[in-house]
């Protein structure tokens, strides 16, 4: 694939996101789509009460337009759109219910689970019809195993795990936008190496979209992405890993997301089993905030760790 296509895709989606910001942010404010801040969280976050949310619409629109422009209409194209927009839709409904119906938790756990399961199953059906390989390989080795029908269960687990891990990472201004740009940057390189053209273009579209959104989401944030953005990003990231046959490499390249999810699992497990917390607050970025770190220090540190994970993942997968 011509590298100019990748650069044009990044530039187009970035520009679109930057242009959409001044249109959507005032609209979200007028509609009173403001973020509800948890009182048990860091006290410094209370001043963010009412900041417009559902800004993930900006990311999804910018990505969609750029992806439509620069990609081909292959089977991979439809899988990527289904995963990202499908999971984004679930997140949008969650955000909408939280704000419009004043339900602090949005969709119930069961409803959100059902929505994620629905689009995961649709992706599995699409992969089956594409004769997508059911073999997985260990990064950096030639060892692999064909999972057969169990591969589709594996896909569902990947999509659930990635989307929710990415969602947990969205809690500090600019944190998810930056870490997801790094992860998609790594997968753009992977996709180019394995000639997965649609995945490369999609990753490029996501890079531009989240960086354009970061213009308004960097501290102090003028808008939050909400679940509409975080679940859409997570679904898309999982789909790229699946289509490039680097499913296990996602654990390394997305190491920050893995750590965020593990911190929540460990915190909940420890509290239920021992009645004690491991961290001051989970996900783990809040632990560092409550330990006295500024938001900017948390964000730049996690960005750096995300970049390190990406480099290690690319090196281990022999893509560097």
DSSP result, the chain = --HHHHHHHHHHHHHHHHHHHHHHHHHHHHTT-BPPPPTTS-GGGGGGTT-B--THHHHHHHHHHHHHHHS---HHHHHHHHHHHHHHHHHHHHHHHHHHS--TT-S-HHHHHHHHHHHHHHHHHHHHHTT---EEE-TTSS-EEE-TTHHHHHHHHHHHHHHHHHHHH--STTHHHHHHHHHHHHHHHHHHHTT-HHHHHHHHHHHHHHHHHHHHHSSSPS---HHHHHHHHHHHHHHHHHHTT-TTHHHHHTHHHHHHHHHHHHHHHHHHHHS--SSSSSSHHHHHHHTT--HHHHHHHHHHHHHHHHHHHHHHTT--
Name the token pair of 284.
């783990």
* pLDDT tens digit at each of 320 positions of the chain: 788 999 999 999 999 999 999 999 999 888 877 666 555 556 555 456 668 889 999 999 999 999 999 999 999 999 999 999 999 999 999 998 888 776 666 788 889 999 999 999 999 999 999 999 999 999 888 899 999 999 999 999 999 999 999 999 998 999 999 999 999 999 999 999 999 999 999 999 999 999 999 999 999 999 999 999 999 999 999 999 999 999 999 999 999 999 999 999 999 999 998 989 999 999 999 999 999 999 999 999 999 999 999 999 999 999 97
- Residue 265, number of CB atoms within 10 A of its CB: 11
Report how far residue 182's alpha carbon sits from residue 275's, in angstroms, rounded to the nearest whole number: 37
Residue 26 has what pLDDT? 93
Residue 257 has what pLDDT? 98
Give backbone dihedrals phi and psi of 253, rounded to 5 degrees, phi first: -60, -35
Residue 217 has what pLDDT? 96
Question: Contact at 8 Å (CB) between 135 and 147?
Answer: yes
Distance of CA 58 to the CA centre of its chain: 14
Question: Contact at 8 Å (CB) between 200 and 236?
Answer: no
Report how far residue 55's alpha carbon sits from residue 17's, in angstroms, rounded to the nearest whole number: 10
Residue 108 has what pLDDT? 83
The set of residues, in sequence order, having a beta carbon less than 8 Å from that of 166 and lying 6+ positions away, is 176, 180, 230, 231, 233, 234, 237, 254, 257
């Amino acid at each position: 694939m011509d590298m100019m296509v990748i650069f044009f895709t990044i530039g187009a989606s970035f520009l679109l996101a930057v242009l959409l910001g001044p249109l959507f942010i005032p609209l979200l404010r007028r509609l009173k789509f403001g973020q509800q801040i948890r009182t048990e969280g860091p006290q410094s976050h209370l001043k963010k009460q009412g900041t417009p949310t559902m800004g993930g619409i900006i990311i999804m629109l910018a990505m969609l337009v750029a992806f439509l422009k620069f990609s081909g209409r292959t089977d991979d194209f439809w899988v990527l759109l289904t995963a990202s927009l499908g999971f984004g839709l679930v997140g949008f409904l969650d955000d909408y219910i939280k704000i419009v119906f004043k339900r602090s938790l949005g969709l119930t756990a069961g409803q959100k689970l059902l929505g994620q399961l629905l689009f995961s199953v649709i992706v599995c059906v699409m992969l089956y019809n594409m004769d997508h390989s059911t073999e997985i390989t260990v990064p950096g080795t030639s060892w692999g195993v064909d999972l057969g029908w169990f591969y589709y269960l594996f896909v569902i687990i990947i999509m659930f795990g990635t989307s929710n891990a990415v969602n947990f990472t969205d809690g500090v201004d600019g944190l998810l936008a930056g870490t997801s740009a790094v992860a998609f940057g790594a997968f753009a390189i992977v996709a180019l190496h394995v000639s997965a053209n649609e995945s490369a273009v999609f990753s490029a579209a996501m890079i531009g979209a989240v960086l354009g959104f970061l213009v308004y989401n960097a501290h102090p944030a003028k808008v939050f992405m909400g679940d509409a953005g975080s679940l859409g990003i997570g679904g898309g990231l999982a789909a790229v890993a699946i289509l490039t046959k680097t499913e296990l490499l996602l654990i390394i390249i997305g190491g920050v997301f893995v750590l965020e999810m593990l911190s929540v699992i460990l915190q909940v497990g420890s509290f239920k089993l021992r009645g004690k917390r491991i961290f001051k607050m989970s996900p783990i970025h809040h632990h560092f905030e409550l330990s006295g770190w500024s938001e900017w220090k948390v964000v730049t540190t996690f960005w750096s760790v995300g970049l390190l994970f990406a480099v290690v993942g690319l090196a281990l997968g022999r893509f560097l």
